[in-house]
Structure 1
Amino acid sequence: MDKAAAHPAPPPPGGVLWSLTGDIRGLLMLPAALTLQVAHPAVGAGVDEHSVFRTDPWGRGERSLRSLQLWVYGGEAAAEEGRRLRRLHRTIQGTDTRGRGYHALTPANYAWVHATGFPVYQHAARYLVRPMTEAQERKLYAEWLQVGRVLGIHDRDMPPTIEEFWPYYRKVLAEEIEATAVVRELVATDGAVPPPDRGPLVLRLLLRALWPVILPPFARFRAFVTVGLMPPDAREAIGLEWSDAQERALRRFGRVVRAVVPVLPERLRYLPLAREARRRHRLSGSDRPSR
C-alpha cells in the first residue's frame, strides 16, 4: 500500500466541502443525512442496538459533528480520525429487521452511511445556500469520494463517477430503505429528549428549567428540516409525508437563511474547527478560502 492510500488527505482548501461543511447551515442538513442513513435496515439496527443516541443525544451529536469537521479540516488528523471510526465500528454487529446478519464494516453498509451525505448536501443547498452548478456537483462528489478514502472506504465500494452514483442510490432506495424504528424516532414530534447538557452551567440550568416549553417547538422544527431537506425520492422511499404547505414554508425559511447567514461575522457563521482551519489557511499565505 502506498503512502497516499495509507494516509489519505482530506479535500483541499477552497473546495465545495471546505465552504459547506463548517458553515452553520450544515447543522440544518445533518439530521436529514442521519435519518437517510438509519433508513437502511442494517444501519438502523446498528444504531438502535449499539448507539447512545437516546441516552446521550447531545454528547453523541457533539462527537459526530467534531468527527465530520475533522474529515474536512483536520489535515493530518483526518486519516487518524478515519482509523478511529473503523476501530469503533469493529464490534458492531447483529441481526437487522429482515432477519439478516449485519456488521457495521460490511462494505455495502459502511459505504451507504457515507454515500448519503452527497445527495443530502446537493439537495439541501438548493434551499439554504444556492443550487449547485453541474461543475460544483461534480466537484462535490469528487471531494466526497476523497472523504470516503479518509474513512477507509475502498474506491471499489463507491461509484467512481456521479453518473454511476445515481443508479446505485436509486437501487438502494428501491431495495433496502424503510421506515426503521430509529427513523420513526428521529422524525417524531412527541419523543422524550433530555435537555442539553453542554455549555456553561448557567445556560444548562436555564434550559433545564425551560425545557418543557422549548421541547415541543424544537421537536417540530427538527422534524420539519429533517424531512424537508431530505431528497424527495428518499423521502418517498421511506414513506415520510410532505405537503405543499410545508414545501412553501421551507422555501420561505430558506430565503431567510440565505439572506442572513452570509452577512454574519466569521465567528458566528463557521464552527470552531472550520474557523481555525480557515485562519491557518490565511496565515499560510495561500489563496483566501472561497466563501
Structure 2
Amino acid sequence: MTLSPDQTADAEIVNSTGDNDAVPEGGLPLGPDSLTWEFFSDGRMLLLGPRAPVLQNMLPSLGQGVEDHSVWFAETMARFKRSIPPIFGTVYGADGHGTGRTVRDFHKNIKGKMPDGTPYSALNPMTYYWAHATFVEHMMVAADTFIRPLTRADKEQIIKESITWFERYGVSSRGTPTNLDEFEAYWQEALEEKLVAHRTAKFGIGYATRGWPRPKQVPKPVWAVVSWPLNTYSAFITIGGMPERAREILDLPWTPAQEKRYQRFARAVRATDPLYRRIPPKLRMHPICYRAYKREGRLG
C-alpha cells in the first residue's frame, strides 16, 4: 500500500550503511550510467519552470512548514538557489548519504501546527516523500518534453533509481511507491484530492501573472524595454510547465491555443538536441554534476 498524501505521522528517521554504492531493496544504482544522472544534470530541466517547488508548497503540511519557518516570501529566489546544491550533492556527491543526512537534518526543527491545530513535521514520511516525488516527476516530465520521449521502461528505471536517492536522506520509506504504477497512482491521488492553492504556492508562481520586479541594478529605462519579453516568456514557461490540474487549483489562465504553442516550442527544443549535446559539459551542467562525471572519468 502506498503512502497516502493526506497521512499524518511523526518524524521517522532511519539508519543505513552510508555506503554510496549500496542499493536498497527494490532500488537501482545511481551513477554515470543511471538515467537520473543523465537527466537531472541537464540544463533543459529549467525549461519546465518552478514546477517542483510550486507543487511542493501545494501540499498543505509542506506549504505550512515553508510559511512558518522559511524566508520564502522575502527571498524566494535566494531560497531556491540555496536548496538546489544539497539536492544535487545527494544525487551526485561522492558522499551522497552524508549530504542527504545533512539535507534531512536541515528540516529537523521544521514542525508546528496547521491552522486547524493538526501537528505537522517536515520529517514525517508523507511530507518528505512528497518533496522528493516532485523532483522525480519534474525530471521525468522535463526529459519527456524537452529531451526525448521516455518509454515506460525508462520511467520505471527512474522510479527504481529514485528509491536509492530517497534512501540517502535517512527518512523512513514506509509505504512509499516501489514501482511506476504505484508512483502514478500516488501522484494522481495527490493532484486530484490533496493539493490546495496554499498561499506559498500562489506566491511562488505569482511572478507568472504579476511580472518580475525590477532588479535594483537594472536602470528603469532598460527594464522598461526588457521586462515585457521577459515576463511574457516567464509566464509561458511557468504556466505551461504546470500540470493541468494544478493550473485549475491555482486558477492559472491557459488556453488550447497556448497549449498548442507550448507543444510546438517543446518539439523545437527536442529537435535541437544534437546541437545541445555539442555544448561543452562544463557549460551545460551544474558544477556539482560536472565534477561528479569528471570524478567518474566520463568526460574524456
Shorter-chain TM-score above 0.5: yes
Equivalent residue number for residue 252 of structure 1? 264
Instruction: Please state if 1:278 is matched with 2:299.
Output: no
* Greater per-residue helix proportion: 1
In the TM superposition, 1:78-97 aligns within 5 A as 78-96=96-114
Equivalent residue number for residue 150 of structure 1? 168
How many angstroms does 1:124 deviate by?
Answer: 2.5
Unaligned runs of 5+ in 1: 197-204, 283-287
In structure 2, what is the Cα distance between the partners aligned to 1:174 and 1:48? 23
In structure 2, what is the Cα distance between the partners aligned to 1:136 and 1:207? 47
Q: 2:284 aligns with which of 264, 269, 287?
A: 269
SS in 1 for 2:74: coil
Provide the identity percentage.
Answer: 32
In the TM superposition, 1:10-49 aligns within 5 A as 11-29=30-48, 31-49=50-68
The CA RMSD measured in Å over matched residues stands at 2.8
Equivalent residue number for residue 141 of structure 2? 123
In structure 2, what is the Cα distance between the partners aligned to 1:73 and 1:98? 40
How many angstroms does 1:74 deviate by?
Answer: 0.6
How many angstroms does 1:177 deviate by?
Answer: 0.4
Unaligned runs of 5+ in 2: 1-13, 21-28
Q: Which TM-score applies when normalising by structure 1? A: 0.82
Instruction: Please state if 1:7 is matched with 2:29.
Output: no
- Contact 2:63-2:198 at 8 Å conserved across structures: yes
Query: Residues 64, 97 of structure 1: CA spacing in aligned structure 2 closer, same or farther, 3 A cutoff?
Result: same
Instruction: Please state if 1:181 is matched with 2:199.
Output: yes
Query: Residues 107, 5 of structure 1: CA spacing in aligned structure 2 closer, same or farther, 3 A cutoff?
Result: same
Q: Which TM-score applies when normalising by structure 2? A: 0.80
Equivalent residue number for residue 229 of structure 1? 241
SS in 2 for 1:116: helix
In structure 1, what is the Cα distance between the partners aligned to 2:170 and 2:228? 39
In structure 2, what is the Cα distance between the partners aligned to 1:79 and 1:215? 42
How many angstroms does 1:148 deviate by?
Answer: 0.7
For residue 195 of structure 1, what is the amino acid of its counterpart?
A: P
For residue 35 of structure 1, what is the amino acid of its counterpart?
A: V
- Contact 2:240-2:259 at 8 Å conserved across structures: yes
* Moved >6 Å (runs of 4+): none
Aligned residue pairs, count: 273
Equivalent residue number for residue 215 of structure 2? 195
How many angstroms does 1:70 deviate by?
Answer: 0.8
In structure 2, what is the Cα distance between the partners aligned to 1:83 and 1:208? 45
